[in-house]
Chains A and B, each alone.
Chain A
Amino acid sequence: MTARLPIPLRLFLALLICWLMAPLIPLAVWSGSRSWYFPDILPSAYSGRAWSYVFSSVSGVPEGLWQSAFIALSATLLSLLIGLPAGRALGLYKFKGKALFELLILAPLIVPGIAAALGLHMVFLKLGLTGTMAGVVIVHLIPALPYMTLVMASVFAGYNPAAEQQARSLGAGSFQVFRYVTLPAILPGLLTGALFTFLVSWSQYILTLLIGGGRIVTLPLLLFNFASAGRNDITGAISMIYILPGAVLLLIAGRYLTGRNSAADSLRQI
């Protein structure tokens, strides 16, 4: 039995949803406007100027897009390789020092990354990692890896390893066990975790700025530069590109966003 909500509650929800969508509206309109001066509510002329600029190489956006994607993919892949085994240990076993290890994983999700990145800068400079993609990928592991580990831990917490034992007794090697038993069972959770981890890295600003040292200019850095330079139309166009992976993720994995497990808490990294 579903009823209609009372009118005040409907109004509250409508206002709230409008408010949540509102900031995206001027960005979308700006991206297609040619002139939009005060006090016009709508642009007086439209054009694809901002979009053609954004897709030209002089804007730096294609390069930034590529760098953002490469960094986020690399950070996700590394986080997966390191976080999957750790998640397995946390999800399946009880052991001495487990609480301490969990604390180490929770810490980077609460303590702001700027503090650790400022401290790492000197060492990265010495190692020649500042201003390089590798350096930025590594520093992105600070928010990305704990996130992936938490997701994998909750995936393994609901996983029964008994089937692995059976496969082994039937003569399967460790790789075969992983490929044909473990992987199919954890794949949905693994892919969701990977998508979210991609977005965690995709959304980083200050870590990239500090370690990239102005030489690695990802999409958020470009967005910030154009927004503070008052180029509203270009900012709008970059924003539309920048929110795409998140929109795709929402359509694919929206139901995982329900905040039902501890892993979802750490969405704050996005």
Chain B
Amino acid sequence: MTERLKILLLLAPALLVIGGLFGGGLLLGLIESFGYMPLLGQTELNLEAYRAIFASQSFWSGLGLSLYISTVSTVIAGGLAIAAALVLRRAFKGRGIIRFLFQINLTVPHLVGAAGILYLFSQSGLFARLAHALGLIGGPSDFPALVFDPLAIGIILQYVWKEVPFIALILLANMQAIGRDYESVARCLGAGPVQVFRHVLLPLILPALFAGSMIIFAFTFGAYEIPALLGETYPAPLPVLAYRAFTDVDLARRPEALAMAMIIAGLATLILAGYAKLFYQRGGING
């Protein structure tokens, strides 16, 4: 058996399954977003669904909300993660236990975090009770609305909670691989700590920071259950709107659901292109 054939045989099952389910799913979704619904006797392709969603106010506010949530979550999580990684890379007493505690929420499913955020930040939640005990508020309604709120603070808090350790651990590994030599040289040449960070370390960790940020931006942009649990009914982010349109009693709204899903996938594909570029620069899977 030639090596080429052997490689092909090893890859074929994965190729078929991922290509079929993921690629096939996206392709079918695209066709359905053009109005193809043989179950309803519709086999002609058109752009009605896109026209309908582009004309609707709820789509644009949903798109804006999705972009806002993903951008703010990613920026805050990225910033906190850099700070955390800078502290955690230092040698200090008790670092082992701190690092262990730091990764504790990595394996906690998103929904559990969302329920926890709800019981912490709702108007009758733990923080409202603490505020009452401190005499800051008179009753639940005096506590600011941090969940089901127009600024989506609860959703952002949940994403930041979940993503900080994720990015920080990527950065930490990256910093360890880079070592401290470049920074020592810069310091010997007279650079202060801020200059060393700004001009030496930051440019070196930037690719890893971007890679991690792109993953969470795309994830938060396409996530359904967190905004469904912690968000306002209106405006709702794109995945929630897509799910609602998909499960609408009016079957004619299904192409609209698929059109929104395709817009989510389209933006994620752009992010994928950027991620893949960084991935291959690192040397691909063997890198």
Q: List A residues at the B interface (Cβ < 8 Å).
A: 1-5, 9, 12-13, 16-17, 19-27, 30, 38-41, 81-83, 85-86, 88-91, 93, 95, 98-99, 101-123, 138-139, 141-142, 145-146, 149-150, 153-154, 157, 199, 202-203, 205-206, 209-210, 220, 223-224, 227-228, 232, 235-236, 239, 242-243, 245-247, 249-250, 254, 257-260, 262, 264-268, 270
Q: Are A5 and B105 in contact (CB under 8 A)?
A: no
The bracket for how many chain B residues form the interface is 35 or more
Q: Say yes or no: A115 contacts B10, CB within 8 Å.
A: no
New A-B pairs, 4, CB < 8 Å, besides A104-B18, A111-B269: A13-B87, A199-B107, A206-B225, A243-B107
State whether A114 touches B239 (Cβ < 8 A): yes
Residues of B near A113 (CB, < 8 A) are 222
Establish whether residues A26 and B10, one from each chain, have CB atoms under 8 Å apart when the complex forms: no
Known contacts A227-B118, A264-B170; is A220 also within 8 Å of B109 by CB? yes
Contact between chains at A112 and B18 (CB < 8 Å): no
Residues of A within 8 A of B212 (CB): 265
Q: Does B112 contact A (CB under 8 A)?
A: yes
Query: In the complex, are the beta carbons of B225 and A259 less than 8 A apart?
Result: no
A32: shortest Cβ distance to chain B, in Å?
Answer: 14
Mask: chain B, 245-287; 1 = CB below 8 Å from A; 0 = not: 0100000000001100110110011011001100110101111
B interface, CB within 8 angstroms of A: 3-4, 7, 9-11, 13-15, 17-19, 21-30, 32, 37, 39, 80, 83-84, 87-88, 90-93, 95, 98, 100-120, 124-126, 128-130, 132-133, 139-140, 158, 161, 164-166, 169-174, 177, 211-212, 214-216, 218-219, 221-225, 228-229, 239, 242-243, 246, 257-258, 261-262, 264-265, 268-269, 271-272, 275-276, 279-280, 282, 284-287
Complex contact B103–A254 (CB within 8 A): yes
Main secondary structure of the interface of A (DSSP, over half): helix
